[in-house]
Amino acid sequence: MKVEQISIFLENKSGRLTEVTGILAENGINIRALSLADTADFGILRIITNDTEKAKKVLKDNGFTVGKNEVVAIEVPDRPGGLSGILRALAGQDINVEYMYAFVQKSGENAIIIFRFDEIEKAISTLQKAGVRILRGEEVHSL
Give pLDDT tens digits for 91-116: 989 999 999 999 887 666 789 999 99
CB atoms within 10 A of CB 63: 7
Residue type at position 134: I
Q: What is the pLDDT of residue 108?
A: 62
- Nearest-angstrom CA–CA distance, 113 and 83: 8
Q: How many residues does the chain have?
A: 143
Candidate ranges 34-38, 88-92, 122-126; pick with highest mean pLDDT: 122-126
Distance CA 133, CA 26 (A): 34
28-84: per-residue pLDDT in tens? 999 999 999 987 788 999 999 999 999 999 999 999 999 999 999 999 988 889 899
Which domains are delineated in the chain?
Answer: 3-70 (3.30.2130.10), 71-141 (3.30.70.260)
Give the predicted TM-score (pTM) of the model: 0.90
